[in-house]
Structure 1
Amino acid sequence: MFRKNFLTLLDEKYYFWALYLPNWESADYQERLKRFVDDNFRSFVGRVFRSAETSKCLILALERKIVDASEVGATDDYRIIRSKVEDAGCEVFYLQPSEIWEDDELRRHPGWEEESLKL
């Protein structure tokens, strides 16, 4: 129940996108991805992350109220980030929080099985 409520809260407050730089299959991709984040650190700080399951892409999270209030031609955070992503030629995919944090029994921490909790 907690997880469901938390994902609902994230969905109500944030937009999430998966960002892939061009040629994500290339051998130098991880270095280019690191350089892209480093070059845009001020814009991305606290707004992008990468998980072990999604090592080829960055997950961008922006508050809905900021995105929804943005106007074409504005110089707000959303428009600045959007411009940097477009200039880099990124492929962009909209995500739901439940797509990022799947409900998977295999992700449970080892050792937390019911049997191990018996004293």
Structure 2
Amino acid sequence: MAISYESGTKLPMKHSYDGDYSSALAELRSGINQIDEQLIRLIAERFSKVSEVGDLKAIFHLPVEDLQREHLVLERALETAKKNGLSEYLTRDLMSVLMKYSKAAQAKRVRGL
């Protein structure tokens, strides 16, 4: 079901749903569920790479924390967020959490090798 929007707004036009908002809401939520699944798969893929980085850091006796790299990762994320109309605050929070858990995963790998 395609959704039509009121001119100049992000509000759905009432007549495009034929008064059945529950099915339109279910369809939108289904789309959100699919996106959530994709996000989780991508995060899992990211952490697979993070583990490999941790292994290399362990082999070459490198520190887990790399503030220069963290800065570059955050800057790239903020650029991408801006291009896509995403909040800077959300992006900073999201990347902060990802980097926190990435460093913890790397530290675990470094200690384990």
Task: Please indicate the TM-score interval, normalised by the length of the shorter structure.
Answer: under 0.3
> TM-score when scaled to structure 1?
0.26
> TM-score when scaled to structure 2?
0.26
> Which structure is higher in RCO with an 8 Å CA cutoff and minimum separation 6?
1
Higher strand share: 1
Higher helix share: 2
